[in-house]
Amino acid sequence: MKLKVVGVLLLTILLTSTIGMAATDFLSIERTYLRGDAKVFIFQPAPEGGVRLLKQGHLRGFVTLRTESKKWREAMPTENLHAVPTPLAIYFTKDGKIGVRSIQPGKPLELKGMFEIEEVAEPSTKPELKLPITARLKYKLRSLFGTSSCPRGYEELNSRYCIIENWEYLKDSYYSDSKTFTEWIPFMGLKVRTEGNKKITLLGMAWGIQLTTSTRSMWSLSVDGLPVLDFGSSYSGSTLKVSYAPEPYVRTENGYLDRYLNLPLKYVVVIYNIPVYDRWQKQYESIPIAGVYPLEITMSGYHTIKESDLNRGYLLTDHLLSSHFPTANTGTKLRVVRTTDEGIYDNIVFDFQGSSGYKFYSTPLGGSAVNWLWSKLPVVGALSITFSYSQASQSVTTYNVDIERGAPNQLYYASILKRNLELANSNNVEVAMYFTTIDDGQDPSPPCVGNFCPNSLDPNTEK
């Protein structure tokens, strides 16, 4: 008998030490530590599509999850750079806030609210629920004793909000879904729009990207249109290096130019529509959440692109393949530059990212993903695919644009795209998007910098 007890204890210790804070390939089990107390839903997209609920309830301390991570690894037997989507926790705190965070093995997760529910909740129809008998009896008892004014299938969060009690009560995929896309995505781009006596005829460019296993994959999230960024997994696989530095310059076509450096990308898009009930307003609401996670860059090796390669494949094109050029709504920094007597201006944009702390860059979703996302959750807002570097990264990105031959002593306007995102466990960060538009300011509504609105006629015009 004693031997059996000792054997059970040894087996328990062995299993516990094996599982620890990481995953076991055999059971695909992960453990995480939750600090705080909240109503938590933990999800993970599945390789075959859809979303799997891993755990729900009022969770705190150590939580064990049977994840989809092993299935994802088996679905990506590749030497290219690839990463598995981390589980995602959506949680509600008693003070009426919602948080969205990824679960990283070995790292505690603090259940700290990020957004006021009232800021991100949208009015919605009453959801159709499939309530079991026990849930219906529980609701009748609560109604009889007056202990809750929440609708059937909901539980009390605080004096104002009720939260869906059990995610499995919801009947269809309207409330959560995922889809994986594989397509060419523009990583860098440039538009030049000049004509007449301000035409730019020659430009210099030096673009390049090197991605290694030190690159971090990021969850880029939108909570009712509010952008959030959180760390996912590091990549596995082989290095990718792509460079485009045409010598000595690129000639425009009568002052106009379009250039895009593209990479083939596999990524998963998820949507959640979280039901809540507002007792103060006496209305059903939902919180639209969407996210995108890069899974694989389906190309590796070293590639030097020349201007002669334009439109001979997909790496370098003079047109967008499947996406839309990011707009000023994404977030724009405007630079007003004046050329020299020779019509030259160096470093309209010069950005070099590497191992100086965490840096981030984004690229827009492909067109097929945008269409699917908007058909599912049209109010979710803009999403982009985001990457980052670690503090000891060998991954780098460089993006340089120069005017080599423009009009002498003239103003040009460069719209340089940046995104301001909230980092889930920190403050706001600025995320580069390597897409720039250069124009001559002869548009009837030229861009402004603060109250200063320069144009080609009077550079001191005020708003």
Q: pLDDT by residue (tens digit) across 165-195?
A: 999 998 776 789 999 999 999 999 999 999 9
Please calculate the CA angle 43-359-314 and round it to the nearest 5 degrees: 80
Residue spans of alpha helices (H) in 96-190: 117-120, 133-145
- Once rounded to an integer, what is the mean pLDDT over residues 369-378? 87
At 351 the pLDDT is 83
pLDDT in the model for residue 424: 74
**Rounded average pLDDT over 369-384:** 83
Least confident of 48-57, 95-104, 303-312, 440-449: 440-449
Q: What is the mean pLDDT of the chain?
A: 83
Is the pLDDT at 228 greater than 60? The verdict is yes
Strands 283-297 and 215-223: antiparallel
Nearest-angstrom CA–CA distance, 7 and 370: 55
**pLDDT value of residue 9:** 37
Report in angstroms the alpha-carbon separations of 56 from 63, 164, 243, 260: 10, 11, 46, 44
Phi, then psi, of 210 in degrees rounded to 5: -125, 120
- Average pLDDT on 227-242 reads 90
Q: Write out pLDDT tens, residues 75-92.
A: 888 899 999 999 999 999
Measure the CA–CA gap between 399 and 442, rounded to whole angstroms. 26
Q: DSSP 3-state assignment of 157?
A: coil
Q: According to the model, what pLDDT value does residue 172 have?
A: 72
E-state strands within 194-255: 202-211, 215-223, 226-234, 240-244, 250-251
Contact 173, 195 (CB under 8 A): no
Domain extents for the chain? 180-273+286-439
Query: CA Rg, the chain, in Å?
Result: 26
Among 381, 215, 359, 214, CA closest to 291: 381
Q: What's 84's DSSP letter?
A: P
Bridge partners (DSSP) of residue 285 are 123, 276
Q: In this predicted structure, what is the pLDDT of residue 282? A: 94
Q: What are the pLDDT digits (tens) for 252-280?
A: 999 999 999 999 999 999 999 999 999 99
Residues 6+ apart with CB under 8 A from 414: 334, 335, 336, 337, 348, 349, 401, 436, 437, 438
List the structure tokens of 180: 């994986």
The residue-averaged pLDDT of 208-229 equals: 89
* DSSP conformation class of 170: B
pLDDT band at residue 366, thresholds of 50, 70 and 90? confident
Helices (H), 26-113: 69-75
Rounded to the nearest 10°, the torsion over CA 136, 139, 143, 147 is 160
Tens digits of per-residue pLDDT, 320-357? 887 777 766 667 788 899 999 999 999 998 888 765 55
Query: Is 250 within 8 Å of 203 (Cβ atoms)?
Result: yes
- Higher-confidence residue of 138 and 365: namely 365
pLDDT band at 379 (very low <50, low <70, confident <90, very high): confident
> Where do runs of H (alpha helix) occur along 97-244?
117-120, 133-145
Reported as a single tens digit per residue, the pLDDT across 281-319 is 999 999 999 999 999 999 999 999 999 999 999 999 999
**How far apart are alpha carbons 35 and 14 in whole angstroms?**
26
Q: What is the pLDDT, as a whole number, of residue 391? A: 66
